[in-house]
A and B are shown apart, each in its own frame.
Chain A
C-alpha cells in the first residue's frame, strides 16, 4: 500500500518523467514563480524587481522531494532563513518587501539543508554535462546557475531547475517566468526547451556551477527504459509497454510508459522486472539489463542499493534471426514421427531404455536478408547439449512402467551479424508403456 501511494502521488507533483523528442526523460517539479510572495502573486506580481530565483528553485526541488506544493509563504521563509544565517551578505527581506537580494550557490546549498532539511546537498562548480545527465538519470533535478532567458547578454544572473536534457535541448522549469516550464497556463509541454549550446554558454559563464540536491530517503529509484538495437526507443513520443515490478514489499508498478519511467522512494532490496508485452514492431525482447543474456523467461532480478538508482533497460532487437527445429523419433509399430518446435513429440521405448531423438534446426531456422546463421545453441532441460544444426540425443525412459519423462528442448540461433534469436522451444515425452500406446 505504501508503495502504490507513492506512485500515484508522485504522478501528481513529483518526479514523474515524460520524454522529450529524443526519448530522454524530463523530470518535473512543482512550479511557483519567484515573485509569488509579492502583491499580485503569480503571474502578475512584482516580476520587475524580484531576485528570489535561487531560493525559489531550491523550494521547487525540495517540495518535489517532500511531495508537497510550494506556497508563497515558503519564499518568505527562505528569505528569512537566508537573512538569519547570512545577514552580513544577505539583506533584510523586510526592508525590500521580500524581493530577495540574490544568492550564491553556497548559500543555496545551506538553505536546502537548513530550511528544507535536505542534507544530501552540494554546491558545485566545474561540472560537466555528463554529470548533469547522471543526476537527471538518477531522478534528481538540478539547480543550475545561468542567466535570465538563458542569455548571457541579459546580464541577469539567474537560477533555473534543470529537468531534462537530450542531444539538442535542455528542459528547465524557470521560477523567473510567469508560467515556469510552460508558455501559458494551458501549455502542457514538459519543461521549457533551450538549445543545449545556448545553455552550455550561459552555464559556463557562471563556472558550470549550481546546486545538487538529493532527497532524504533510505530508498532509491527504480527506472525503466527501453532500447531498440542499442538506441533509445521510442525515438519520439511515448509508448506503453506492459511489465510488472515486484520488490521487497510487493508489486511496485504495472503497465508503464517508456522510454523512461522512474519510481522514487523505494526501499532497498531485490526487485524483479517481468516483461509482458509491447515494444517496437518487428522486434523481440532480447535482454533486460542489468541481467545476463540470453533472455529466457522475460524477467530480470537485480538489487536496489539505498539512495541509488536501479535501471532496468528493456533491450529490443529488430532484424532478428528466427530459431525453429524439428524433432524426430520412433513410435510403434515402429514408425518415425516428426514434430515441429512449439509442439510435443512422444516417443516410446522399454522401461529403463533410451529413445533416440533427432533434432534438426536447419530447415526451420532462418536468418534475415544478407545474413546467415552461424551459431546453434541447443539445451535440454536447461543443459547445453549441442552447437550444431542437427544432432541426435539419447533420452532416457523411466524404469517404472507406465511413467513418462518430459524433456524441454530449446534452440537459440545466432546470425552472422551477431544477432540472437528468441528461443524456440519444444517438448519430448519419453514413454515406456508396453501394451497400449497412444500415438500423438
Chain B
C-alpha cells in the first residue's frame, strides 16, 4: 500500500518462464476504467533468470487501487500473454508528530480526528460510525453499521523490558483476567502483542499493543457486529492492513 499525494517508488517483480520470450517484450500495464486502453508504464528488465523487475514511482492524487498487469510477447504467438491483475492500494497517511508514528490506512477507513489527545479514530464511514450500545442522535451523519480502528498512544514507563501482562494488569485490572491468549506479532518492526478481552461489551475483538521509545501504542478494532448481516471480514482486513503499515517516526 502506498500513500496518496506521496511520490512513492514501487518495485515490481514478475516471474516469466519460457525460452521463446522476446527480449524487451515485457510491458508493465496500468489498467484504467473498463473499456479504456491500458497505459504502458515501462518495461521490466530481466537479470538473466526468469525474474523481471521494474521500479516506478507512483504519485496518486486520490485513494483507491492501482490495477497493474504484465504483458509479454513470445515468439510464434501473435497475441501477447497477460498476467493476472495485481493491485496496489492507495491509502491515506496519518502522521502524528506528537505521538511519533505514521500509518497508512486503506480507503475503507476515514480519519475522524482525535477524540482525546493521542487517540485517533479511523472509521469505515466518512461521517463516523457509532459502535456498541450507543446510537447517534437524530439527524446525525454518523453511521450505525460499520467498523473502526482506533490508534492510541500514551506515555508509559518501563523498567527493563516491556511486560505485556504487567501492562494489562496495570491498565485494565478488570479486563486483564479475561484477556484471551496473547499472540506475539510485529508492529512497526517492534515486538508487539495481540489479544482480545472476553466477557464484556466490546470484547471479542482484536487489540494490538506495542511499546516503543517511552510510549505504548494500542490499535483497537471495533465493529457493529450486533447488527444482523454485518460481517467483520472487511473490517478485520482493514485492521490488519493498518497493523502492517504502522511505522514509528525516527
Contacts and interface: CB of A to CB of B under 8 A. Distances in A.
Contact of A158 (B115, B116, B119, B202): B202
A51 B218 contact: no
B226 A158 contact: no
A323 B147 CA distance: 73
B132 interface: yes
A251 interface: no
B199 A47 contact: yes
A149 B172 contact: yes
A217 B96 CA distance: 53
A158 B177 CA distance: 21
A99 B119 CA distance: 29
B138 interface: yes
B199 A156 contact: no
A34 to B, nearest CB: 7
A204 B114 CA distance: 13
A89 B139 CA distance: 11
B201 A148 contact: yes
**B interface, by DSSP: helix, strand, loop or mixed?**
loop
Contacts of B121: 155
A174 B121 CA distance: 24
B220 A101 contact: no
Contacts of B172: 149
B130 interface: yes
A53 B137 contact: no
Interface residues of A, number: 47
Contacts of B200: 47, 148-149, 176-178
A18 to B, nearest CB: 19
A105 B227 CA distance: 19
B148 interface: yes
Contacts of B199: 43-44, 47, 177-178
A48 interface: yes
A205 B133 contact: no
Nearest to A99: B226
A100 interface: yes
Contacts of A52: 133
A50 B201 contact: yes
Contacts of B67: none
Contacts, number: 140
A339 interface: no
A183 B174 contact: yes
Contacts of B134: 54, 102-104, 145, 157-159, 206
A102 B225 CA distance: 11
A105 B140 CA distance: 14
Contacts of A54: 133-135
Interface string A123-155: 000000000000000000000010111001111
Interface string A171-194: 000011110000100000000100
Contact of B225 (A48, A89, A104): A48
A175 B199 CA distance: 11
B29 interface: no
Contact of A107 (B135, B218, B228): B135
Contacts of B177: 183
Contacts of B132: 51, 53, 102, 147-148, 154-158
Nearest to A202: B116
A153 B152 contact: yes
A201 interface: yes
Nearest to B178: A178
A416 interface: no
A325 B197 CA distance: 71
Contacts of B119: 152-153
B3 interface: no
B131 interface: yes
Nearest to A42: B199
B130 A102 contact: yes
Interface in A342-379: none
Contacts of A158: 132-134, 201-202
B131 A48 contact: no
Given A102-B130, A201-B116, A156 B202 contact: yes
A148 B178 CA distance: 14
Contact of B135 (A99, A104, A183, A201): A104
Given A153-B119, A159-B134, 5 more contacts: A101-B135, A102-B135, A104-B135, A145-B134, A157-B134
18 contacts: A34-B133, A43-B199, A54-B133, A54-B135, A89-B144, A102-B133, A104-B136, A148-B202, A149-B172, A154-B202, A154-B222, A157-B130, A157-B131, A157-B133, A157-B135, A175-B201, A183-B174, A204-B116
The 3 A-B pairs of least Cβ separation, nearest first, read A157-B134, A176-B201, A53-B133
Interface of A: 34, 43-44, 47-54, 89-91, 95-96, 99-107, 145, 147-149, 152-159, 175-178, 183, 192, 201, 204-206
